[in-house]
């Protein structure tokens, strides 16, 4: 199934405000002390009140995604959930706000919203086009200033209306935080059911907010450790379908899959390069595990590590020049960095405790890892310094970064029952929450922002 | 690495163990399929029969189908060597009999590392069996990492039981 594209649209009908677009700084944020990229600032602006009434429509018509009036309300609800669930703002959604008229979208009644204590205001509209597409407009206003801060428009297929909401939430988030967007993205993970000694593990995918959930495999063969390709067209994952654990490249469009490498040896811990052209995998030969690289289109593999210890995993720096991986060559699990060709291998973790499952931030400034001595999620600088522990579960494992490098997902396992769930935490460690999944869940892998 | 003395000690131990084991009874129930976890009850007077060369016979005849490891370790110690010696002796009675060694880890490890560790443990047992004369071509390995625990608790004794390599005959 080819993915339908979502077009960014230049919003044109709001002419009176066009000249002011993006020229007015968000005063409330500025007063909070400036957003320099330091994580310590988040508490200052996470109290920002944002009012998000249902989106207006020019006329109530039926669309494949429902009546356009109802759809406008749902758009507001999705945006509200995005902004609320990450603990970054204090949004108020359509459920507790009055509706707006179509003409209010470009001329908000600021007095009404300031009376409700809103600092920021999101307005929008949804229109059903003659070509079967939906057009969604998204506007962000500063209530105190009475001015527009940002606007975007999107043309989407009705089946992809949620993406317009995510794009709008991304616009609001980016404009107010100064960070890159991340809501319009997807997550691959492993859905778990059954008793602890016979867990059924299925490959599953969902949007970043849990919507559009889909099981990919039926659970007959144990599936583990999926990774979305950067273009979301395929998934790498481990399957026991042929008895031995091996990595497959699964094509989402066709449902076909192939082995990552033609070898009878077990392969595991698959990873994509940032450009999607290369795949890292770990392979055990005669009991000794090393890290290999192969082109995403197949062909000969290149062995990158060759010592007698367990070398496993691997995560590229955003520019693709370096790889951080895990090795027990010095005794216990520790994190190492090498150049992308396998040269210049050196240990970076010396902070105490075992360093496992390192993942390079998409921003390049941090490496997340599992402390495999106490099973907490932590981050450190790419040189191994400035270690900060972010979680405190009984067993937290396998961090994966949001596309903008501000949030980390991981899975948490309960002592005793072994039941696992997906959690996420921001870089302050304060905003921790569990993600809702239909059944138990593990091995999350967050993909990039959709184009 | 196999210490030169280990097989000798193992041999002596296994002789004692083999001497204690039951002789195959006359009545022969069907051999169980699948893994060696489904051990039949050999306690009754007329039960516990096993087809010679079957998985049930293997489990009933050897000291154990399982050897155990310390945390993050994969070395075969003297007790493990005795167990593997008894397995090698049984296999010697059935030329061409194939086995799969399943390597496992406890839950207190990260998933990928545990897959590698299980592979290491299964291969340590395999190498030891080869050293005792079992044909390399007859022994396959598979790692289950922490995916298939036998002890379900989250405590040291459960974890100790889960750090294991299990020999399963291919029927």
At B139 the pLDDT is: 98
pLDDT digits (tens, 9 = 90+) for A398-419: 999 999 999 999 999 999 999 9
Is pLDDT larger for residue B34 or for residue A396?
A396
At A28 the pLDDT is: 29
Q: What single-letter DSSP state applies at residue B31?
A: P
At A6 the pLDDT is: 60
Query: B68: helix, coil or strand?
Result: strand
Whether the per-residue pLDDT at A337 is higher than 80: the answer is: yes
Range of the domain at B144: 56-171
Q: How far off is chain A from B3, nearest CA to CA, in Å?
A: 19
Q: How confident is the model at residue A7 (pLDDT cuts 50, 70, 90)?
A: low
- Contact A228/A186 with Cβ under 8 angstroms? yes
Q: How far apart are CA B24 and CA B41, in angstroms?
A: 13
- Contact A68/A57 with Cβ under 8 angstroms? yes
pLDDT digits (tens, 9 = 90+) for A33-81: 333 333 444 445 567 999 999 999 999 999 999 999 999 999 999 999 9
- Contact A48/A176 with Cβ under 8 angstroms? yes
Q: Is residue B133 in a domain? A: yes
Q: How far off is chain A from B12, nearest CA to CA, in Å?
A: 29
Whether the per-residue pLDDT at B119 is higher than 90: the answer is: yes
Interface test with B, best of A243, A269, A287 (most B CBs within 10 A): A287
Q: How confident is the model at residue A352 (pLDDT cuts 50, 70, 90)?
A: confident
- Candidates B111, B123, B145; nearest CB to A286: B123
pLDDT digits (tens, 9 = 90+) for A272-314: 999 999 999 999 999 999 999 999 999 999 999 999 999 999 9
Q: How many helices (H) and strands (E) does chain B have?
A: 5, 4
Contacts of A332 (CB under 8 A, 6+ apart): A354, A372, A373, B72
Contact A415 B148 (CB under 8 A): no
Contact B147 A222 (CB under 8 A): yes
At A392 the pLDDT is: 96
Contact B116 A284 (CB under 8 A): yes
Tell me which chain A residues have a C-beta less than 8 angstroms from the C-beta of B149: 196-197, 418
Q: Is residue B14 in a domain? A: no
Find the mean pLDDT for residues B72-93.
97
Tell me which chain B residues have a C-beta less than 8 angstroms from the C-beta of A284: 115-116, 119-120, 123, 143
Contact A357 B142 (CB under 8 A): no
Contact B116 A282 (CB under 8 A): yes
Q: How confident is the model at residue B52 (pLDDT cuts 50, 70, 90)?
A: very high
At B46 the pLDDT is: 44
Is pLDDT larger for residue A271 or for residue A21?
A271
E strands, A6-109, are: 7-9, 49-51, 56-57, 62-63, 66-67, 90-92
Ranges for all domains in chain A classified under CATH 2.120.10.30:
186-446
Using CA atoms in the order B72, A239, A451, A185, what is the torsion angle rounded to 10 degrees? -60
Contacts of A57 (CB under 8 A, 6+ apart): A68, A69, A71, A72, A102, A125, A126, A127
Find the mean pLDDT for residues B112-135.
98
Q: How far off is chain B from A405, nearest CA to CA, in Å?
A: 22
Is pLDDT larger for residue A352 or for residue A339?
A339
Q: Is residue B76 in a domain? A: yes
Q: What CATH number does residue B130 fall under?
A: 3.30.1330.60
- Contact A230/A448 with Cβ under 8 angstroms? yes
**Mean pLDDT score of chain A, rounded to an integer?**
90
Tell me which chain A residues have a C-beta less than 8 angstroms from the C-beta of B154: 394, 415-416, 418
Q: How confident is the model at residue B48 (pLDDT cuts 50, 70, 90)?
A: low
- Candidates A245, A395, A418; nearest CB to B115: A245
Least confident span in A193-202, A327-336, B18-27, B87-96: B18-27
To the nearest whole percent, how much of chain B has pLDDT over 90? 70
Is pLDDT larger for residue A322 or for residue B40?
A322
Q: How far off is chain B from A395, nearest CA to CA, in Å?
A: 8
Residues of A with CB under 8 A from a CB of B: 195-199, 201, 222, 224-225, 238, 243-245, 266, 268-269, 282, 284, 286-289, 310, 312-313, 326, 328, 332-333, 356-357, 370, 372, 375, 394-395, 397-398, 413, 415-416, 418, 442-443
Q: Is residue B49 in a domain? A: no
> Positive or negative CA dihedral for B35, B37, B42, B46?
negative
Nearest CA in chain A to B136: A286
Q: Is residue B87 in a domain? A: yes
Q: Residue A87: how many CB atoms within 10 A of its CB?
A: 18
To the nearest whole percent, how much of chain A has pLDDT over 90? 86
Q: How confident is the model at residue A138 (pLDDT cuts 50, 70, 90)?
A: very high
Tokens of A73: 């309300």
Q: Is residue B140 in a domain? A: yes
**CATH architecture of the domain covering A186-446:** 6 Propeller (2.120)
Tokens of A434: 């569990």
pLDDT digits (tens, 9 = 90+) for A206-262: 999 999 999 999 999 999 999 999 999 999 999 999 999 999 999 999 999 999 999
Q: How far apart are CA A297 and CA A276, in angstroms?
A: 10
Number of domains in chain B: 1
Domain A7-177 matching CATH 3.40.50.10070: the answer reads: yes
E strands, A100-142, are: 120-128, 134-142
Interface test with B, best of A267, A271, A284 (most B CBs within 10 A): A284
Give me the residues paired with residue A51 across strands: A92, A121
At A172 the pLDDT is: 97
Find the mean pLDDT for residues A3-7.
52
Q: How confident is the model at residue A86 (pLDDT cuts 50, 70, 90)?
A: confident
At B40 the pLDDT is: 43
Whether the per-residue pLDDT at B137 is higher than 70: the answer is: yes
**Mean pLDDT score of chain B, rounded to an integer?**
81
Tell me which chain A residues have a C-beta less than 8 angstroms from the C-beta of B148: 197-198
Interface test with A, best of B72, B112, B123, B170 (most A CBs within 10 A): B112
Q: How confident is the model at residue B22 (pLDDT cuts 50, 70, 90)?
A: very low
Whether the per-residue pLDDT at B42 is higher than 80: the answer is: no
Least confident span in A236-240, A421-425, B37-41: B37-41
At B13 the pLDDT is: 40
């Amino acid at each position: 199934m080819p993915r339908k594209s979502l077009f960014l649209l230049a919003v044109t009908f709001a002419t009176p405000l066009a000249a002011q677009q993006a020229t007015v700084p968000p005063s409330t944020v500025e007063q909070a002390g400036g957003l320099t990229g330091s994580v310590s600032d988040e508490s200052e602006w996470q109290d920002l009140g944002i009012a998000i009434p249902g989106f207006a429509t020019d006329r109530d018509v039926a669309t494949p995604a429902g009546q356009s009036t109802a759809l406008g309300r749902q758009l507001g609800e999705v945006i509200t959930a995005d902004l609320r669930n990450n603990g970054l703002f204090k949004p108020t959604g359509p459920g507790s706000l009055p509706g707006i008229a179509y003409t209010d979208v470009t001329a908000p009644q600021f007095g009404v919203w300031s009376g409700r204590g809103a600092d920021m205001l999101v307005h929008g509209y949804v229109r059903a086009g003659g070509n079967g597409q939906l057009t969604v407009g998204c506007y962000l206003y500063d209530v105190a200033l009475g001015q527009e801060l940002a606007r975007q428009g999107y043309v989407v297929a009705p089946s992809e209306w949620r993406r317009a909401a995510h794009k709008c939430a991304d616009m609001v988030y980016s404009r107010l935080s100064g960070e890159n967007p991340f809501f319009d993205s997807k997550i691959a993970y492993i859905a778990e059911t059954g008793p602890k000694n016979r867990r059924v593990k299925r490959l599953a995918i969902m949007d970043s907010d849990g919507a559009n959930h889909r099981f990919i495999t039926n659970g007959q063969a144990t599936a583990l450790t999926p990774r979305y390709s950067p273009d979301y067209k395929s998934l790498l994952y481990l399957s026991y379908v042929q008895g031995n654990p091996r990595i497959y490249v699964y094509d989402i469009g066709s449902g076909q899959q192939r082995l990552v490498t033609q070898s009878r040896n077990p392969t595991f811990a698959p990873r994509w390069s940032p450009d999607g052209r290369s795949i890292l995998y770990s392979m055990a030969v005669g009991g000794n595990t090393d890290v290999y690289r192969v082109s995403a289109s197949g062909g000969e593999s290149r062995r990158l590590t060759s010592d007698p210890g367990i070398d496993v995993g691997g995560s590229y720096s955003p520019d693709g020049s370096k790889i951080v991986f895990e090795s027990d060559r010095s005794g216990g699990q520790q994190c190492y960095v090498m150049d992308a060709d396998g040269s210049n291998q050196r240990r970076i973790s010396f902070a105490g405790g075992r360093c496992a499952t390192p993942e390079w931030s998409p921003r390049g400034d941090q490496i997340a890892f599992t402390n495999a001595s106490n099973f907490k999620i932590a981050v450190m600088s790419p040189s191994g310094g400035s270690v900060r522990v972010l979680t405190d579960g009984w067993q937290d494992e396998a961090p994966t970064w949001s596309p903008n490098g501000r949030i980390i997902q991981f899975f948490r396992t309960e002592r005793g029952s072994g039941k696992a769930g997906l959690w996420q935490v921001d870089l302050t460690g304060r905003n921790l929450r569990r993600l809702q999944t239909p059944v138990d869940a593990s091995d999350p892998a967050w993909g990039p922002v959709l184009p | 690495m196999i210490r030169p003395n280990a097989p000798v000690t193992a041999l002596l131990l296994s002789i004692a163990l083999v001497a204690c084991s039951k002789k195959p009874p006359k009545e022969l129930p069907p051999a169980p399929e699948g893994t060696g976890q489904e051990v039949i009850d050999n306690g009754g007077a007329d039960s516990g029969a096993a087809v010679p060369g079957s998985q049930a016979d293997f489990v009933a005849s050897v000291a154990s189908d399982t050897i155990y490891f310390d945390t993050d370790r994969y070395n075969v110690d003297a007790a493990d060597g005795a167990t593997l010696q008894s397995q090698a002796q049984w296999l010697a009675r059935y030329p061409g009999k194939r086995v799969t060694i399943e390597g496992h880890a406890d839950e207190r490890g990260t998933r990928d590392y545990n897959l590698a560790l299980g592979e290491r443990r299964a291969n340590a047992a395999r190498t030891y069996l080869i050293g005792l004369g079992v044909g390399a071509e007859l022994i396959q390995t598979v790692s289950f990492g922490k995916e298939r625990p036998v002890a379900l608790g989250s405590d040291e004794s459960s974890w100790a039981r889960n750090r294991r390599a299990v020999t399963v005959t291919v029927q």
